[in-house]
Amino acid sequence: MPSAPPIRPLIAGNWKMNKLPSEAVPWLRTLLDRLAAAPHDHCDVLLNVPATHLVPMAALARGTDVRLGAQDVSAHAEGAYTGELSAAMLRDAGASFVIVGHSERRAYHAENDALINAKLGAALAEGLVPILCVGEREDERLAGCAREVVLEQLAGDLEGIRLAGADELVIAYEPVWAIGTGRTATADDAQEMGSAIRADLVARYPESGASMRILYGGSMKPGNAAELLAKPDVNGGLIGGASLDADQLLSIVEAAR
Ligand code: 13P
């Protein structure tokens, strides 16, 4: 495998279904003030927020280097799909990224790899950068097939997906048993899976796979972030609980240095 050039880390919050839009705006104002006082040229900062929050947060974030993303997208471009949000709508509302295939959507909304594949296509067609989540359940890890599960997800999710460059896609390795549980994969386990994902990306995208960002997600906190982020194939974090707290998020930004 070619040796990867340095990859700029991406520190990405996933707010899930938390905070009201009216709470998010003053929260973001505080974060922006504090980021302005703490140079953070070493990484990109992104908040994946509920879609209702995008317009007011984007108005505030305009002209700053904080990016906004959504947490899901319709596989369809437009039409009679009650309750769905298209990639174009999310982009117009201020998103530049979107999480696709989060394990909570796989588990609670029966999303399968075919649907996730279609959602990736819809996001890319509108110029949104998908953050594709993959990861094994605890029973799968205990059965010794974590790697097979993740590689199978990648195969199904990325089938036929063409990319023009490394910045068009982000992968997040999120072991399901580590999400919201306070249990984290060890840095070595995260790297082992990161390197398997890297090899798959390089085989699939010879031009750009070595430079694509692979994030770790699952109880990343200020106390464990630096060790995880020091690994070559952990190029950032997808952070749930800790991203709701500006102090914790800023500590993780600092840990990416
Ligand atoms: P926690 O950081 O709360 O474990 O959530 C991780 C996650 O699911 C990010 O997408």
C-beta 71 within 6 A of ligand 1: no
Q: Residue 178: inside a domain, yes or no?
A: yes
Number of domains comprising the chain: 1
Instruction: Give the model's pLDDT for residue 55.
Output: 98
Annotated catalytic residue within 102, 104, 136, 140: 102
The predicted-structure confidence for 76-86, as pLDDT tens digits, reads as follows 999 999 999 99
Residue 156 is encoded by which pair of tokens? 């199904």
CA angle 133, 136, 138 (to 5 degrees): 140
Residue range of the domain that includes 160: 69-248
Question: Per-residue pLDDT for 135 more than 80?
Answer: yes
In this structure, what CATH number is given to the domain that contains residue 220? Answer: 3.20.20.70
The predicted-structure confidence for 190-236, as pLDDT tens digits, reads as follows 999 999 999 999 999 999 999 999 999 999 999 999 999 999 999 99
Cα 98 to averaged position of ligand 1 atoms, centre (Å): 15
C-beta 26 within 6 A of ligand 1: no
What letters, b where the CB count within 10 A reaches 16 and e where it falls short, cover 222-251? Answer: bebbeebbebebbbbbbbbbbbbebebbbb
C-beta 157 within 6 A of ligand 1: no
Q: Are the CB atoms for 107 and 174 separated by under 8 Å?
A: no
Q: Are the CB atoms for 48 and 97 separated by under 8 Å?
A: yes
Q: Residue 121: inside a domain, yes or no?
A: yes
Q: Residue 201: inside a domain, yes or no?
A: yes
Q: Residue 228: inside a domain, yes or no?
A: yes
Percent of the chain with pLDDT over 90: 95
Among 98, 133, 220, the mutation site with the greatest number of ligand 1 atoms within 8 A of its Cβ is: 220
Residue 76 designated active-site: no
Residue 40 designated active-site: no
Give the whole-angstrom CA distance, residue 67 versus residue 44.
Answer: 8
Mean pLDDT of 48-63: 98
Q: Residue 60: inside a domain, yes or no?
A: no
Global model pTM greater than 0.85: yes
Mean pLDDT of 84-102: 98
Residue 216 has phi, psi (to 5 degrees) of -110, 140
Closest alpha carbon to 6 in 210, 146, 252: 210
C-beta 47 within 6 A of ligand 1: no
Q: Residue 103: inside a domain, yes or no?
A: yes
